[in-house]
Amino acid sequence: MENVNVQNQQKLEEKRLHDRAQRGKIIRSTVYYVCGTLLAVLFLFPLVYMLATSTKNESAYAADAGSLMMFLPDFKNLSAAADNYGKVFTDYGIWKYALNSVLYAAVIIVLNIVINGLAGYVMAKFEFPGKGFFSFIILFLIVVPVETSIIPLYSIVKVLLGLKGTSSVLAVILPSSISIFNIFLFIQFFEGIPKEYEEAARIDGAGSLRIFFSMILPLSKPIVATVATFCFIGAWNDYLWPTMVLPYAEEGAWPLYPIQSALTSIQSIQGITTGEIMASLVVTSIPIFIVYVVAQKYIVQGFGSAGLKM
């Protein structure tokens, strides 16, 4: 009888502890989601304001300033939105700069995957003299700010290589083709690929380059997508370096500036309205949003597999 009472008391105690743990879990989850939702709404306010203002003419913008209406589109006068976006594309030619950014990003992505991928493959899978030293240099350069190399890099591309005029496009692409951080990501990911795959391929007569392009890269879709996404975002958002190395387009000539560099020129045009400025910002923000949403799954997988070893 005493054993039965003891067992019942143990069960009640276990149930009480379980219920307490469940209540604590529910409370933590509630606080987590409430705080996350509030922060998300807070960070979305500037984007909502930008989108809403892009649909208004100057009088509607002035009338709504300082009230909650500034966060709502002007549904009564949708022609104003059409005028804003129409001027951005036709009068200011933002599509030309967007096309430049897409072309720059496409070339930079391909070069990054090939060059940095090969470097990461060599560092992860091969043994050679000085490997430890190069590993130290990679880790050291990751923490060095990029801004410290801008002036020496400018001297190299302008003085040593002589990239001027139309050839300045190479000055935008070549420095962005090598990324120490991307090499590090590739190293971490490739180290997790079993060596048995390579050994089986070498038995079949495959060389190192064939193994890399036909086996390693197909197995590395998450990290390739992660690197490609970061390269696209970096190329799309690049402003300072292209402004330094690219020449200003003459009247009637095709501009070489990417879209972020063009925004400064567009916003300084005399007579441009706030709605047109916001419309140009919306145009530059949409591709980043689309790319990130599409590649989000691969980014999580890439950092989940490579980041565990950081």
Run of H or E residues at 157: none
pLDDT tens string, the chain, 310 residues long: the values are 555 565 666 767 677 777 777 887 888 888 888 888 888 888 888 888 888 888 888 888 888 787 778 888 877 777 888 888 888 888 888 888 999 999 999 999 999 999 999 999 998 888 888 888 888 888 888 888 777 888 888 888 877 777 776 778 888 898 888 888 899 889 888 888 888 888 888 888 888 888 888 888 888 888 898 899 889 988 998 888 888 888 887 777 788 889 888 888 787 788 788 888 888 888 888 888 888 888 777 777 666 655 544 4
User: φ, ψ for residue 101 (rounded to 5)?
Assistant: -65, -40
Whether the Cβ atoms of residue 273 and residue 92 lie closer than 8 Å to each other: no
> What are the strands, taking DSSP E only, across 82-144?
none
pLDDT at residue 114 in the model? 93
pLDDT at residue 112 in the model? 93
Give the residue among 217, 232, 219 at the shortest CA–CA distance from 116.
217
pLDDT at residue 310 in the model? 41
Give the residue among 238, 276, 278, 277 at the shortest CA–CA distance from 259.
238
Tokens of 251: 């009247």
pTM for the structure as a whole: 0.81
User: CA separation (Å) from 216 to 66, 117, 122, 197, 220?
Assistant: 56, 9, 12, 9, 6
DSSP state of 252: T
